């Protein structure tokens, strides 16, 4: 792009910032409709049991308008594999299971009614370990999965391979074989799950005020569940208080609210409390990864052989397709001559996993990057060197058929290597971080950084704190991902008689700032200032189709859609402007809301052009539609093909300090170098980087939803260790602009990326610091202390 | 959860409120513990005596004379954090208050609430045990009695307070003259704020000009049903030279503290970890 940009690349605050910070934004929790009822759900008391239910007492409670159980509804099963009944009948298979629901005049009455429901359980022995579920004598967990091609208790299998594994094994001078265990973590959206359903018995239409990330797929799924016509369902997205992948699926509470509204003829709202949110909203896929990886004597990678068992929980969500993304990382992050990948999603009586920002790649990165450090150690190679030697490069076509037309991997690696001083010869200085000098050792180097230990009288033991540095990379789709039948996005532009633009986009805003960036693109092209651009993006009755917010696709796909629409709009304007300016339509210039002829001698205001079109005999409105479909391909049955319009790359380095007395890890610095194609808005991008990194740090060192025999033991922020503002490390961001030819202004998708390599980099840094490696996340103080103990004993 | 609320503004209104509501009342100060408890147990038909607007010097202020400093039960954690005298003379208390929850909660959480909740993980309470503070209890008759904090905690959520008593303030003896203090609070957990300790250690060690230790208070939290005062470990240090303890002595000290720990394993940490970490941080306070 040689054109000088005036808006793109400048730090414009999010256009919804004002309403959000002043409390004016209408979240699902704020929706209040006339006559609205409050819904509540009764969930299973046991993770695996048969039951009988008696709701008569609840029905009699004054203020209760409806009580439903499986017997009262006629619905299709929901979920990605249609293996999930909305209300469970006769048996429950996880602690989240919905067995009855109530609509009442107040929340309190609804809750009281729930307590009046009598349920008799006959507890059964459940299966809580996917490896147990794979045993031949294991009972069948999910009986709803139809036409399964797979063995018992397997919801899905992904198999992929390229290259000649055996040959590559022979070439290998080092082969590492390790098992990695990844935890169940959850999104912790600040707004808990919510829905307000409003069915009109007059029009027979259903309006849903929902936080979905995928309104059109949601509309379709809801229609299927309720046996309705999709067009009779209108989805209005409220301001969404956090998505991160959690709202990619429709969950039972949503059709339950709809059914209650249909039954009562009144709006019904269901809002989770925090405990319910922890128990009944999805988690990241927890899994066990067995990775065998090799390198030749020069450090060139030879192969990866991966076997994954994922705990699917009792039902299957979109999250079951994470291997689709993970396999790309195993097959194509760093140059990879051969790869075999197999994953199984296995049913258990645990709560089911869903989708989560990064979509399997944080897990993959942890396994891959740990193995790289192990290989480097065995080969006696530098950890930076081995990565640079194998880094992806522009022009590479990977074994899986992905085309890396632009690729900032090498530059990203070089940047973090340089910034984090990985090869610092003063590594010992780094490690001895006492602010105060030791009295009993010869003068230690004093680190002048700001990490001061406050202990004015006694000085800490110099060996207590150990520092380490670790690096990790990532590759992720950066131009959408062709998974659904269309990966496109529609845009409608409406330029009014006053020169203000209404931008109606199919894409959704879930806090990431996409509506701001889309408005910036229109502003850049039309020179209409930001305050004259309105973005409409919340109503399926109004907005054109889009597949949804996921795969870091919105700026790329919706952005290209806006640019396509702007082009059409300009063609319309140009025609009229040329008449008004009495010149040819070639080379018209847009500047300060005006259209000028090529030498700038004559100009007309855009709004005037619109009015001339509207009122000046032509009688035409300045409105256009455009649908953009990325040029990516569907992969073939072997999962080969160029699945995304472009690919994003990043490297991160983590600098940590480990307290060997308590096992606490302090993450000091995270350096992020990321190929974002082009920075569209530096403020937005920094928001994504910081948020992503912090989620990654939590994944690395603190977060885990702990389960025992199907029950969640820490359904609260007290014991679920989501990090706080005071845990935020210094995050340093170095954007790498590779100017992708397909991206809007050269941009690539960038939003999932920042959390993908963080935990992996931290794990490597901890191993570097303490000299022992930990193979499961999160790396808790207890695991660290135990590892140190085992090493010294 | 449903409750009535009365809000006394003077001491006499307070005493009247205690009398009229007999045994069926709870005090509410900052409510950061109380509301959670009432919600969790779904308590109905209780009266909350709201202390938030009580205007009484003894309850509300930090004052001192030549012998001691008195901290009112309604003084908030952030007031303790910001008190320069406490920061200088009782770092253990300042640090403990500063480690409590988060900046927002510290604005409302009171020292009285922290003590009367009688949680084994109470941060301020742990520091006060190390400081051998005294609790001043006001009864509904208007009389005040004083109980050492070392005898105050009887078990988790159990205290030596009677049904009709309220904690009005705590007293801490001032440090001896011309001494060095080595005082601090160590909290072990995963997060740097909003963390409930897995192990905590409060220490307040005074030594004279010759560097000989004259007075010691060591308390540990989260490793027993109540906060424990490690008396034998304190005794062990008396008369020793703070700056030149042998490695063996440091470990012996840590072992002595550990004798007071009887931790359990729960989802936050195993007993093994709690002991290991406690041993290490005990050593650390004597390290140079
Ligand atoms: C998110 C969160 C994080 C927390 N983190 C920490 C932490 O890190 N460390 C820590 O120690 N605590 C922590 N707490 C607990 C709590 O904040 C503290 O214990 C606080 O000091 C309680 O003070 P309060 O004024 O809010 O007490 P309240 O909730 O008002 O009262 C607590 C109890 O004491 C009784 N009470 C209060 N005042 C008196 C009085 N004067 N006389 C007699 N009885 C009285 C009440 O009846 C009640 O039983 C946390 C709490 C929350 C919600």
Q: Do A714 and B267 touch (CB under 8 A)?
A: yes
Q: Is pLDDT at A447 greater than 70 in this prediction?
A: no
Q: What is the pLDDT of residues A223-279, one digit of tens each?
A: 999 999 999 999 999 999 999 999 999 999 999 999 999 999 999 999 999 999 999
Please name the member of B102, B243, B268 whose beta carbon is closest to the beta carbon of A724: B102
A238 within a domain of the structure (yes/no): yes
Q: Please indicate, yes or no, whether residues A120 and A256 belong to a single structural domain of this protein.
A: yes
- Which residues, numbered 74 to 113 in chain B, qualify as contacts with chain A under a Cβ-Cβ cut-off of 8 Å? 102
What pLDDT is stored for residue A430 in this prediction?
Answer: 39
Q: Please indicate, yes or no, whether residues A198 and A65 belong to a single structural domain of this protein.
A: yes
Q: Please indicate, yes or no, whether residues A518 and A450 belong to a single structural domain of this protein.
A: no
Average pLDDT over residues A342-368: 97
In total, how many domains does chain A have? 3
Residue B254 forms contact with A (CB below 8 Å): no
Q: Please indicate, yes or no, whether residues A650 and A775 belong to a single structural domain of this protein.
A: yes
Residues of A in contact with B102 (CB under 8 A): 724, 726
Q: Do A727 and B102 touch (CB under 8 A)?
A: no
**DSSP element (H, E) containing A328:** helix A322-332
Give start-end residues of each CATH 3.30.390.50 domain in chain B.
180-284
Token pair for A578: 């040329």
The residue from A628, A648, A670 where one domain ends is A628
Q: What is the pLDDT of residues A1-28, one digit of tens each?
A: 457 999 999 999 999 999 999 999 999 9
CA of A736 to the centre of ligand 1 (A): 49
User: Does residue B127's CB lie within 6 angstroms of at least one atom of ligand 1?
Assistant: no
What pLDDT is stored for residue B244 in this prediction?
Answer: 85
Q: Do A781 and B193 touch (CB under 8 A)?
A: no
**A706 to chain B: nearest residue by CA?**
B267
Within 10 Å of residue B37's Cβ, how many Cβ atoms? 14
What pLDDT is stored for residue A484 in this prediction?
Answer: 87
Please name the member of A464, A662, A724 whose beta carbon is closest to the beta carbon of B194: A724
Peptide bond into A778 cis (omega under 30): yes
Give how far B56 is from chain A: nearest CA, Å: 34
Report the share of chain A in percent with pLDDT over 90.
Answer: 90
Measured CA to CA, the distance from residue A334 to residue A399 in angstroms comes to: 11
Mutation target to probe the A interface, by most A beta carbons within 10 A, among B179, B241, B273 is B273
Q: Please indicate, yes or no, whether residues A647 and A600 belong to a single structural domain of this protein.
A: no
Q: What is the pLDDT of residues A392-414, one digit of tens each?
A: 999 999 999 999 999 999 999 99
Average pLDDT, chain A: 93
Q: Please indicate, yes or no, whether residues A527 and A406 belong to a single structural domain of this protein.
A: no
What pLDDT is stored for residue A446 in this prediction?
Answer: 33
**B275 to chain A: nearest residue by CA?**
A662
Q: Please indicate, yes or no, whether residues A594 and A505 belong to a single structural domain of this protein.
A: yes
What pLDDT is stored for residue B40 in this prediction?
Answer: 87
What pLDDT is stored for residue B45 in this prediction?
Answer: 85
> Residue A243, CB half-sphere, CA atoms under 13 Å: how many?
30
A468 within a domain of the structure (yes/no): yes
Q: Do B268 and A723 touch (CB under 8 A)?
A: no
| % helix, strand, coil for chain A, step of 5 | 30, 25, 45
Residue B129 forms contact with A (CB below 8 Å): no
Burial of B44 from C-beta contacts in 10 A (0-12 / 13-18 / 19+): exposed
Q: The CATH number of the domain where A583 resides is what? A: 3.30.365.10
Token pair for B266: 């729960």
| Shortest-distance Cα residue to atom 51 of ligand 1 | B32
Write phi, then psi, for A374 (nearest 5 degrees): -65, -40
Q: Do B285 and A780 touch (CB under 8 A)?
A: no
User: How many helices (H) does chain A have, and how many strands (E)?
Assistant: 19, 30
Residues of B in contact with A662 (CB under 8 A): 188, 277, 280-281
A315 within a domain of the structure (yes/no): no
Q: Which residue is it, tokens 């693109």?
A: A521
Give how far A458 is from chain B: nearest CA, Å: 5
Closest ligand 1 atom, residue B196 Cα? 8
Q: Is pLDDT at A629 greater than 70 in this prediction?
A: yes
Cα torsion A84, A90, A95, A96: sign: positive
Q: CA nearest B21: which of B163, B159, B160, B117?
A: B163
- 3-state SS assignment for residue A97: coil
Token pair for A527: 């020179």
Q: Please indicate, yes or no, whether residues A527 and A620 belong to a single structural domain of this protein.
A: yes
Q: Please indicate, yes or no, whether residues A562 and A659 belong to a single structural domain of this protein.
A: no
Measured CA to CA, the distance from residue A111 to residue A30 in angstroms comes to: 20
Residues of B in contact with A721 (CB under 8 A): 190-191
DSSP for A359-427 reads TTHHHHHHHHHHHHHHHHHHHT--HHHHHHHH---TTEE-TT--EESS--HHHHHHHHHHHTTTT-TTH
Q: Is pLDDT at A632 greater than 90 in this prediction?
A: no
Measured CA to CA, the distance from residue B35 to residue B113 in angstroms comes to: 12
Residues of B in contact with A727 (CB under 8 A): 191-193
Measured CA to CA, the distance from residue A86 to residue A107 in angstroms comes to: 21
**A702 to chain B: nearest residue by CA?**
B190
Could you list the beta-strand ranges (E) of A601-662.
603-605, 622-628, 647-659
Measured CA to CA, the distance from residue A119 to residue A69 in angstroms comes to: 12
The residue from A232, A256, A280 where one domain ends is A280
Q: Please indicate, yes or no, whether residues A753 and A654 belong to a single structural domain of this protein.
A: yes
CA distances from A537 to A205, A419, A509, A549, A555 (A): 21, 40, 7, 12, 14
A351 within a domain of the structure (yes/no): no
The residue from A230, A255, A280 where one domain ends is A280
Average pLDDT, chain B: 96
Token pair for A162: 């390229």
A592 within a domain of the structure (yes/no): yes
- Domain that includes residue A544, residue range: 17-24+488-628
Q: Please indicate, yes or no, whether residues A537 and A679 belong to a single structural domain of this protein.
A: no
Strand A647-659 with A622-628, pairing: unpaired
Measured CA to CA, the distance from residue A395 to residue A730 in angstroms comes to: 34
What pLDDT is stored for residue B44 in this prediction?
Answer: 81
A130 within a domain of the structure (yes/no): no
Token pair for A183: 């935890």
- 3-state SS assignment for residue A166: helix
**B279 to chain A: nearest residue by CA?**
A661
What pLDDT is stored for residue A423 in this prediction?
Answer: 52
The list of chain B residues with pLDDT below 70 reads 288
Token pair for A419: 């910034």
Measured CA to CA, the distance from residue A731 to residue B177 in angstroms comes to: 47
Average pLDDT over residues A366-379: 98
Measured CA to CA, the distance from residue A372 to residue A382 in angstroms comes to: 11
The answer to ipTM > 0.85 is yes
Average pLDDT over residues A113-124: 98
Give start-end residues of each CATH 3.30.465.10 domain in chain B.
57-173
Residue positions counted in chain B: 288
Q: Please indicate, yes or no, whether residues A602 and A708 belong to a single structural domain of this protein.
A: no
Residue B73 forms contact with A (CB below 8 Å): no
Residues of B in contact with A439 (CB under 8 A): 288
User: Does residue B157's CB lie within 6 angstroms of at least one atom of ligand 1?
Assistant: no
Q: What is the pLDDT of residues A508-550, one digit of tens each?
A: 999 999 999 999 999 999 999 999 999 999 999 999 999 999 9
Q: Do B284 and A464 touch (CB under 8 A)?
A: yes
Q: What is the pLDDT of residues A590-601, one digit of tens each?
A: 999 999 998 989
**B245 to chain A: nearest residue by CA?**
A458
CATH of B57-173, one of 3.40.250.10, 3.30.465.10, 3.40.1170.10, 3.90.226.30: 3.30.465.10
Measured CA to CA, the distance from residue A346 to residue A354 in angstroms comes to: 13
Give start-end residues of each CATH 3.30.43 domain in chain B.
3-50
Q: Do A459 and B287 touch (CB under 8 A)?
A: yes
What pLDDT is stored for residue A462 in this prediction?
Answer: 56
Residue B190 forms contact with A (CB below 8 Å): yes
**What's this model's pTM, rounded to 2 decimal places?**
0.95
CA distances from A334 to A161, A203, A325, A638, A734 (A): 16, 57, 15, 20, 20
What pLDDT is stored for residue A531 in this prediction?
Answer: 97
User: Does residue B189's CB lie within 6 angstroms of at least one atom of ligand 1?
Assistant: no
DSSP state of A544: P
Residue positions counted in chain A: 793
Mark B226-248 as b/e (b = at least 16 C-beta within 10 Å): bbbbbeebbebbeebebeebeee
Token pair for A278: 């922890």
Token pair for B84: 């320069």
Identify which has the larger pLDDT, A617 or A723. A723
Instruction: Return the CATH architecture of domain B3-50.
Output: 2-Layer Sandwich (3.30)
Q: How confident is the model at residue A459 (pLDDT cuts 50, 70, 90)?
A: very low
A335 within a domain of the structure (yes/no): no
A345 within a domain of the structure (yes/no): no
Give how far A432 is from chain B: nearest CA, Å: 14
| Shortest-distance Cα residue to atom 15 of ligand 1 | B33
CATH of B180-284, one of 3.40.47.10, 3.30.390.50, 3.40.190.10, 3.40.50.300: 3.30.390.50
């Amino acid at each position: 792009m040689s054109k000088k940009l005036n808006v793109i690349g400048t730090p414009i605050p999010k256009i919804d910032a004002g309403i959000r910070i002043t409390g004016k934004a209408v979240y699902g929790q704020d929706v209040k409709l006339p006559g609205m009822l409050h819904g509540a759900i009764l969930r299973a008391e046991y993770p695996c049991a048969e039951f009988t239910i008696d709701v008569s007492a609840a029905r009699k409670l004054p203020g209760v308008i409806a009580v439903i159980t499986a017997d009262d509804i006629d619905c299709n099963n929901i979920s990605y594999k249609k293996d999930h009944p909305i209300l469970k009948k006769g048996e429950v298979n996880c602690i989240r299971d919905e067995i009855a629901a109530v609509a009442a005049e107040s929340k309190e009455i609804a809750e009281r009614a729930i307590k009046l429901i009598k349920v008799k359980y006959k507890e059964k022995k459940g299966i809580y370990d996917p490896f147990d579920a794979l045993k031949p004598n294991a009972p069948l967990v999910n009986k709803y999965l139809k036409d399964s091609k797979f063995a018992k208790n397997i919801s899905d299998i992904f198999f992929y391979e390229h290259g000649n594994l055996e040959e590559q094994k022979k070439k290998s001078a080092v082969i590492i074989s390790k098992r990695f265990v990844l935890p169940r973590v959850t999104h912790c959206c600040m707004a808990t799950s919510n829905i307000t359903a409003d069915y009109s018995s007059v029009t027979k239409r259903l309006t849903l005020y929902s936080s979905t990330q995928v309104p059109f797929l949601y509309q379709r799924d809801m229609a299927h569940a309720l046996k309705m016509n999709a067009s009779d369902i209108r989805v209005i997205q409220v301001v969404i208080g956090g998505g991160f992948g959690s709202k990619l699926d429709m969950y039972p509470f949503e059709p339950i609210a709809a059914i209650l509204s249909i039954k009562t003829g009144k709006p019904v709202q269901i809002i989770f409390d925090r405990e319910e949110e922890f128990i009944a909203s999805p988690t990241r896929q927890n899994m066990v990864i067995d990775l065998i990886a090799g390198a030749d004597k020069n450090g060139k990678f030879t192969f990866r052989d991966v076997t994954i068992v994922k705990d699917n929980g009792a039902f299957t969500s979109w999250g079951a397709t994470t291997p689709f993304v993970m396999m790309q990382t195993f097959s194509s992050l760093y140059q990879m001559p051969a790869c075999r990948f197999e994953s199984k999603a296995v049913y258990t009586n645990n709560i089911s996993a869903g989708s989560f920002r990064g979509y399997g790649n944080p897990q993959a990165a942890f396994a891959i990057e740990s193995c790289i450090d192990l290989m480097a150690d065995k080969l006696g190679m530098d950890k930076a060197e081995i990565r640079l030697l194998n880094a992806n490069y522009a022009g590479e076509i990977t074994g899986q058929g992905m085309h890396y037309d632009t690729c900032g991997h090498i530059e990203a690696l070089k940047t973090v290597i340089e910034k984090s001083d990985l090869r610092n010869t003063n590594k010992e200085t780094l490690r001895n971080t006492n602010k105060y000098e030791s009295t009993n050792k010869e003068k230690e180097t004093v680190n002048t950084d700001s990490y001061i230990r406050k202990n004015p009288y006694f000085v800490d033991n110099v060996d207590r704190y150990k520092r380490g540095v670790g690096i990790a990379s990532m590759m992720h789709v950066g131009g959408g991902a062709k998974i659904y039948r269309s990966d496109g996005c529609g845009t409608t532009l409406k330029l009014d008689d006053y020169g203000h633009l209404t931008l109606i986009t199919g894409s959704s805003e879930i806090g990431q700032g996409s509506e701001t960036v889309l408005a910036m693109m229109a502003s850049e092209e039309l020179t209409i200032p930001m305050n004259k651009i309105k973005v409409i993006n919340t109503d399926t009755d109004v907005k054109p189709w889009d597949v949804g917010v996921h795969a870091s696709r919105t700026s790329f796909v919706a952005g290209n859609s806006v640019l396509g629409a702007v082009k059409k709009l300009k063609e319309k304007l140009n025609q009229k402007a040329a008449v008004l300016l009495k010149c040819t339509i070639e080379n018209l210039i847009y500047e300060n809301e005006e259209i000028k002829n090529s030498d700038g001698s004559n100009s007309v205001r855009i709004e005037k052009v619109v009015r001339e079109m509207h009122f000046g005999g032509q009688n035409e409105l300045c409105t256009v539609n455009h649908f953009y479909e990325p040029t990516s391909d569907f992969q073939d049955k072997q999962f080969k093909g160029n699945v995304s319009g472009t690919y994003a790359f990043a490297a991160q380095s983590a600098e940590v300090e480990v307290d060997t007395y308590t096992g606490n890890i302090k993450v000091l610095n995270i350096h992020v170098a990321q190929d974002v194609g082009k920075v569209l808005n530096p403020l937005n991008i920094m928001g994504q980087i910081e948020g992503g990194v912090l989620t990654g740090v939590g994944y690395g060192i603190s977060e885990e939803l702990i389960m025992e025999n199907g029950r969640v033991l820490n359904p609260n922020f007290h014991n679920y260790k989501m990090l706080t503002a005071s845990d935020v490390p210094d995050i340093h961001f170095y954007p790498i602009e590779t100017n992708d030819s397909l991206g809007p202004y050269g941009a690539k998708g960038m939003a999932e990326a920042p959390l993908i390599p963080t935990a992996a980099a931290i794990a490597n840094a901890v191993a570097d610091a303490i000299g022992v490696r930990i193979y499961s996340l999160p790396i808790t103080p207890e695991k660290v202390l135990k590892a140190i103990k085992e090493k010294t004993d | 959860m449903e409750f009535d609320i009365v809000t006394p503004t003077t001491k006499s209104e307070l005493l009247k409120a205690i009398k009229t509501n007999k045994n069926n009342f709870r005090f509410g100060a900052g409510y950061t513990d109380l509301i959670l408890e009432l919600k969790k147990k779904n308590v109905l038909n209780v009266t909350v005596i709201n202390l938030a607007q009580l205007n009484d010097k003894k309850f509300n202020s930090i004052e001192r004379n030549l012998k001691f400093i008195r901290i009112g039960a309604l003084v908030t954690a952030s007031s303790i954090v910001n008190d320069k005298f406490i920061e200088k003379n009782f770092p253990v208390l300042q640090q403990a208050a500063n480690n409590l929850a988060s900046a927002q909660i510290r604005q409302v959480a009171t020292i009285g609430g922290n003590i009367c909740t009688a949680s084994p993980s109470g941060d301020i309470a742990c520091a006060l045990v190390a400081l051998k503070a005294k609790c001043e209890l006001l009864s509904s008759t208007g009389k005040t009695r004083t109980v050492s904090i070392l005898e105050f905690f009887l078990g988790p959520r159990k205290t030596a307070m009677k049904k009709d008593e309220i904690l009005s303030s705590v007293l801490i003896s001032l440090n001896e003259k011309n001494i060095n203090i080595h005082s601090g609070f160590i909290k072990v957990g995963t997060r740097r704020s909003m963390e409930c300790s897995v192990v905590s250690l409060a220490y307040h060690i005074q030594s004279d000009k010759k560097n000989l230790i004259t007075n010691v208070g060591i308390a540990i939290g989260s490793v027993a049903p109540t906060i424990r005062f490690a008396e034998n470990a304190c005794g062990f240090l008396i008369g020793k030279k703070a700056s030149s303890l042998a490695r063996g002595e440091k470990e012996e000290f840590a072992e002595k503290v550990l004798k007071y720990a009887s931790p359990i394993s729960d989802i936050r940490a195993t007993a093994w970890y709690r002991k290991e970490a406690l041993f290490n941080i005990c050593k650390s306070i004597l390290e140079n």
